[in-house]
Amino acid sequence: MVNVLVIGSGGREHALSWKLSQSSKVDKVFTAPGNGGTENNIPIDINDLNALVEFAQKNNCFTIVGPEAPLAAGIVDKFTQMNLKIFGPSQKAAQLESSKIWAKNFMKRNGIQTARFEIFDDPKKAVEYVKSLDYNVVVKADGLASGKGVIVCNNADEAIAAINTILVKKTFGDAGNRIIVEERIDGIEASYIALCDGMIAIPMASSQDHKRIFDDDKGPNTGGMGAYSPTPVIDDALAEKIQNKIINKTIQSLKNEGIVFKGFLYAGVMIRDNEPYVLEYNARMGDPECQPITMRMDFDLYDYFVASVDGTLSMMPKITWKNQSAVCIVLASEGYPESYPQNEEITGFDLIPKNAMVFHAGTKKQDGKILSNGGRVLGVTALGDTLASAISNAYLAAEKISWPHKYYRKDIGKKGLSYL
């Protein structure tokens, strides 16, 4: 039996620790720092790499990294140097996410389909460039900005405002020292996530995230307001295309450049005329996509994490999924992604039906009560025999939970229904 340490405090980490605790090979699952829903919380900050190393050593832990910041800081390299087993990509491999500019140049030199782009650190030049274009653009901060550093523009004025937000006002701090201005590709967006061991990549179930704060994909981008799996947007033929043209090509191109990618490789893709374009890479499981995906897993996730670290995925049995749909609805604090109230008591957990699971994100436990402690607070996730029934089950469960400033989208999964 082995102990597991899950690093992070979001809904993704609660879902991973929940799934890993079901493994017959796992003794205890610790979460650092965890949240109001996770068990065995360890009060260590995700960026305190030395303290995390020390804890993993003392407690004989196999470690799993949830969020991007410690990956970008080189946590995997540090653990590996200490002969500690850790699941996730090295600092060099994590550049796919930690620098959008590095990732765009990587795609360009390796012929991986993505939108045409230019890079700027001078706002004047960026504005001149935008004015010269006859198509709409997306403006992106180079570095990590919790999923919020991407501004989709409908015209040149919005693009100029976005350039000022990032380069002049420094809304995202140093993450916005440089920007990408890229062509806006209009199509259908989907999340394609694969489990990699440096040699091969096994696709996870397909999913679709809902990034905007308001219904009908209106308003600013967030970390994600809900997701469902599988998505009919990606049929078998398209999945094969994404796997070969994007995932396998990425793993191989990295290898050619001397970088071994182990962990979750996430491609945010836009599908236009049945061709996939990479919008962005993440070097970890998506949040909230992780929640419906883990609900559908019909295999021991711990075994596959070990195989990823050991480079033995090709020897593992084929993974299987529950023949059901899963939908996750994010319950957020009203005001997110801007400012929002915190420390409000949340009730209704005892009313959740058996086919649903409430994954905690921005919550904390205090005096036996669960309080809101972030923008995205909970991820109410339910299974159903069809997408429509999973949506209905998830919303029924979401309605049972209450606190004064609860907010959620009412149309999660609707895009998928229009495809069926």
Residue 398 is part of a domain; what is its CATH number? 3.90.600.10
Each residue's pLDDT tens digit, 36-71: 999 999 999 999 999 999 999 999 999 999 999 999
pLDDT band at 341 (very low <50, low <70, confident <90, very high): very high
H-only helix segments in 175-300: 236-242, 249-256, 290-296
Can you tell me whether residue 112 is helix, strand or coil?
A: coil
Distance CA 93, CA 259 (A): 6
pLDDT of residue 148: 79
Strand partners, 330: 379
> Which residue reads 């003392």 in tokens?
58
The residue-averaged pLDDT of 235-250 equals 97
pLDDT value of position 145: 86
Check pLDDT > 90 for residue 221: no
In a domain, 109, yes or no: no
Write out the residue range of the structural domain in which residue 56 sits. Answer: 2-92
Range list of H helices, 6-152: 11-20, 49-58, 68-72, 75-81, 95-98, 100-110, 123-132
| Mean pLDDT of the chain, nearest integer | 96
For residue 98, tell me if it sits in a domain: no
Residue 34, classified by CB atoms within 10 Å of its CB into exposed (0-12), middle (13-18) or buried (19+), is: buried
Task: Please tell me whether residues 406 and 362 are part of one structural domain.
Answer: yes
Predicted confidence at residue 174, as pLDDT, reads: 94
Return the bridge partners of 321, or none.
Answer: 297
Q: Are residues 309 and 375 in the same domain?
A: no
Let me know if residue 100 belongs to a domain. no
| Residue 287 three-state SS | coil
What's 270's domain CATH number? 3.30.470.20
pTM: 0.94
On whether both 354 and 390 belong to a single domain, the answer is yes
Residues 193 and 308 in one domain: yes
- Residue range 337-355: mean pLDDT, rounded: 96
* Each residue's pLDDT tens digit, 247-297: 999 999 999 999 999 999 999 999 999 999 999 999 999 999 999 999 999
Helices (H) and strands (E) in the chain, counts: 14, 22
What's the pLDDT at 420? Answer: 75
One domain, residues 200 and 300: yes
Q: Is the pLDDT of residue 153 over 90?
A: yes
If asked whether residues 311 and 193 sit together in one domain, one would say: yes
How high is the pLDDT of residue 56?
98
Which has the closest alpha carbon to 190: 253, 238, 155, 149? Answer: 238
For 332-358, what is the mean pLDDT? 97
**Contacts for 138 with CB less than 8 Å, ≥ 6 apart:** 115, 150, 151, 152, 153, 181, 182, 183, 184
If one counts every other C-beta atom within 10 angstroms of the C-beta of residue 410, the result is 12
Based on the fold, state whether residues 336 and 359 are members of the same structural domain.
yes
- Number of C-alpha atoms within 13 angstroms, CB side, residue 160? 11
Helix or strand holding residue 304 (H, E): helix 301-310
Among the three residues 183, 200, 233, which one is the final residue of a domain in this structure? 183
Taking the C-alpha atoms of residue 129 and residue 123, their distance in angstroms, rounded to an integer, is 10
Q: How confident is the model at residue 144 (pLDDT cuts 50, 70, 90)?
A: confident
Provide the CATH number for the domain around residue 67. 3.40.50.20
Can you give the CATH number for the domain in which 142 is found? Answer: 3.30.1490.20
Task: Report if residue 99 sits inside a domain.
Answer: no
pLDDT for residue 290: 98
pLDDT at 392 over 90: yes
In a domain, 302, yes or no: yes
Q: Which of 281, 315, 349 is the last residue of a domain?
A: 315
Q: How many distinct structural domains can be found in the chain?
A: 4
Residues in the chain: 420
